[in-house]
Amino acid sequence: MSSDSDGPLWYRGLALKLEAEIKDHVDALCRHYAIQHLVVGHTVTKDRITSRLGGRIIMIDVGMSRAYYGNPAACLVIEKGRFTAFYPDRQEILVVR
């Protein structure tokens, strides 16, 4: 169920668990859905878009809520196989495999 702590809206393991702990799970997900990357939110990454497992997981929650974190807005643009993080004052190309 989506509201369960292990459901897709609340599960934070892809962001918080050690990479060695989630690698096999991520590999299985990617094979099952024939994808190369997972984009996840809902776990703040300290003001910047970051990646894990060599870019297999892209974490996009930068904590831009003024009431709680106050970090600047950001967005991820995926275009022609290129992953770019945009911020108010800069943009960064993410290195992904």
Give the pLDDT band of residue 96 (cuts 50, 70, 90).
Answer: confident
| Among candidate residues 31, 33, 84, the one with its CA nearest the CA of residue 23 | 31
Give the pLDDT band of residue 88 (cuts 50, 70, 90).
Answer: very high
The answer to whether 28 and 2 are in contact (CB under 8 A) is no
The predicted pLDDT at position 75 comes to 95
Q: What are phi and psi of 71, to 5 degrees?
A: -80, 155
Per residue in 36-78, pLDDT (tens digit) is 999 999 899 887 999 999 999 999 999 888 788 888 899 999 9
**Per-domain residue ranges of the chain:** 13-94
Single pTM value for the model: 0.86
